[in-house]
Amino acid sequence: MSWKSRIIRLHGLLKGRFRDWNDINISALVKNKALLTRQNQANLENFIKARNSSFFRRLLLFIRSGIYRQTLLGNLGLLLGITINKV
């Protein structure tokens, strides 16, 4: 991924685009929750709760949810998004 693409993604994160995408994906996952393993259902619940929690609780629940990105920069962006509540 080029630096230009990374900057565009960061801008989208700051504007709340990823939060909107997560809303759509969460809706689909909740509708199909019965198809998920118990562990993945718990991860989803932690993720949902985290998005509406206070700062420290949000960090704890995101850690418990087990979500991550594939690259170091992706994970740093995710951490930023979690910190500023844009995920």
Which among 60, 25, 57, 72 has a CA at the least distance from the CA of 44? 25
Which among 56, 54, 57, 32 has a CA at the least distance from the CA of 44? 32
- For the segment 33-83, what is each residue's pLDDT rounded down to a tens digit? 999 999 999 999 999 999 999 999 999 999 999 999 999 988 998 899 999
H or E element at residue 58: helix 55-65
- Residues found in the chain: 87
Checking if the pLDDT of 2 tops 90, the result is no
pTM: 0.82
User: Rounded to the nearest 5°, which phi and psi values hold at 8?
Assistant: -60, -45
- Per the structure, the count of domains in the chain is 1
Residue span of the structural domain in which 10 resides = 3-83
